[in-house]
Structure 1
Amino acid sequence: MRDVTRRRVVQGLAAGMPLAAVLSDPLLAKAAGESLESVAVTTVRGRRVKGALALPSASRAPAVLLVHEWWGLNDQIKSVARELANLGYVALALDLYGGVVATTPDEARAAMQALNEDDAKDTVAAWTTWLSGEAPQSNGKIGTVGWCLGGGWSLMASILRPVDATVVYYGKVDRPAEQLARLKGPVLGHFAKQDKWINAEMVGKFEATMKEVGKPYTDYWYDANHAFANPTGNSYAAGPAALAWRRTTAFFEENLK
């Protein structure tokens, strides 16, 4: 029965089932997540790290690296990877937490605080390197996308191993000019007007620094709060989430295909 449900979800996504419908239903999200393949790589520092891989129907395609929220690599992020694969991308959802998936804010906060920055850099660099040359079906073009905690690490991944397109959903972007100067492709940011953490002051400085170092950057602000794109949370805003996703996929289409 589980395999039948999983096939139906994958087929439904391919046929145009709204991503939000899958993300907001735990059973559908679980089935979509189970359709991914577990993969692992060894980092430069000799650590073995894991991720979840979804492949497109095309024999060669651009790749997208997905970085999870503070909850960890859960079925929600895996479902987005499945959707990206159905849109024609090699989609790799990495795991910064070594298998830990939080279910409460306290657990998520503890997992985020326990994250070692050097380990996280090691992890994202390993996966972007893998996607550029070793991943099955990858044609070498790469984009990154992340949400919340993962938004900041989407940007850092692109700094450590410059890629062709970077998307940040309400993530930490206060990086110095010498780091941002390493970026290769354009950056797209999605931010929330009611967000008191990733706020206009932080993003404004980021925008000014991007202009200073001559890097292409576009952002959009939504009448919503932090984590507005997560259908399982209290801050979910369906309209802004759908619009941000359309802009994200159009951005990848323009810069990766």
Structure 2
Amino acid sequence: MPIHDSRRLEHNIDSGHINIVTDSGQQVPAYWAQPRVGLRFSGICLLHDWWGMTPVMRLVANFLGQMGYYVIVPDMYLGLRATTAAEALSLLQKTEKQRYSIVDAALTVLETHHRTNRLVAVVGLGMGGTLAFEAAIKRDDLEAAASFAGFPQHYLGQ
């Protein structure tokens, strides 16, 4: 999905599926996209909303890769995807205790990966936006955090 804009450089990308490992040893599936050229790039940890890892999240990762970022999208539902709001709520509740450790592991992978320049940001949508707030509070090594439709209420004052 090239975004043809003559005013900026666009990269061909490589993408695929990997596993990242949390501090507890849990294997977590993730999607990645990166520019094909052999340079170091800033990293983005892209966090999905309560529906799970959807094709839209992979498209956004690809788009960011074309813009020149190394992107990891951890699948915080471990391969499950909601198709109804009731399923999404159920998955949200079942994964509550493990989600941040997955985000933390993905950020660590980005910071230490040989294809990144150690500059890392987190971007989240919905549930992922809430986790982006949490990462911004808990980690002082992030260059940026962006939340789209996240819920900051829990973190106010922190």
TM-score range, shorter chain: 0.7 to 0.9
The answer to whether 1:100 aligns with 2:89 is: no
Q: Which residue, out of 111, 125, 142, partners 1:147? A: 125
Matches within 5 A, 1:170-189: 170-174=149-153, 175-177=155-157, 180=158
Query: As a proportion of its length, which structure holds more helix?
Result: 1
d(CA) in 1 for partners of 2:106 and 2:137?
A: 13
d(CA) in 2 for partners of 1:109 and 1:13?
A: 34
The answer to whether 1:41 aligns with 2:20 is: yes
TM-score (normalizing by structure 2):
0.85
Aligned residues: 147
Query: As a proportion of its length, which structure holds more strand?
Result: 2
d(CA) in 2 for partners of 1:157 and 1:94?
A: 14
For residue 15 of structure 1, report the CA deviation from its aligned partner.
2.8
For residue 57 of structure 1, report the CA deviation from its aligned partner.
3.6
d(CA) in 2 for partners of 1:94 and 1:41?
A: 8
Conserved 8 A contact 1:36-1:78: no
d(CA) in 2 for partners of 1:154 and 1:100?
A: 21
Conserved 8 A contact 1:128-1:157: no
- Deviations for 1:89-126, whole angstroms, at most 9, x for unmatched residues? 00111111111111221211211121232x11211111
Conserved 8 A contact 1:61-1:90: yes
Q: Which residue, out of 4, 27, 44, partners 1:15? A: 4
- Bigger-Rg structure (1/2): 1
- Deviations for 1:224-257, whole angstroms, at most 9, x for unmatched residues? xxxxxxxxxxxxxxxxxxxxxxxxxxxxxxxxxx
For residue 165 of structure 1, what is the aligned residue in structure 2?
A: 144
Query: What SS class does the counterpart of residue 72 from structure 2 fall into?
Result: strand
d(CA) in 1 for partners of 2:4 and 2:30?
A: 26
d(CA) in 2 for partners of 1:43 and 1:74?
A: 22
Whichever residue aligns with residue 153 of structure 1, its letter is: L
The answer to whether 1:53 aligns with 2:42 is: no
Contiguous gaps of at least 5 residues in structure 2:
6-13
| Cα RMSD (Å) | 1.6
For residue 64 of structure 2, what is the aligned residue in structure 1?
A: 84
Query: What SS class does the counterpart of residue 13 from structure 1 fall into?
Result: coil
Query: What SS class does the counterpart of residue 142 from structure 1 fall into?
Result: strand
TM-score (normalizing by structure 1):
0.54
For residue 96 of structure 2, what is the aligned residue in structure 1?
A: 116
Q: Identical aligned pairs, as a percentage?
A: 27
For residue 128 of structure 1, what is the aligned residue in structure 2?
A: 107
Structure 1 residue ranges (4+ consecutive) displaced by more than 4 angstroms after TM superposition: none
Whichever residue aligns with residue 76 of structure 2, its letter is: L
For residue 160 of structure 1, report the CA deviation from its aligned partner.
3.0
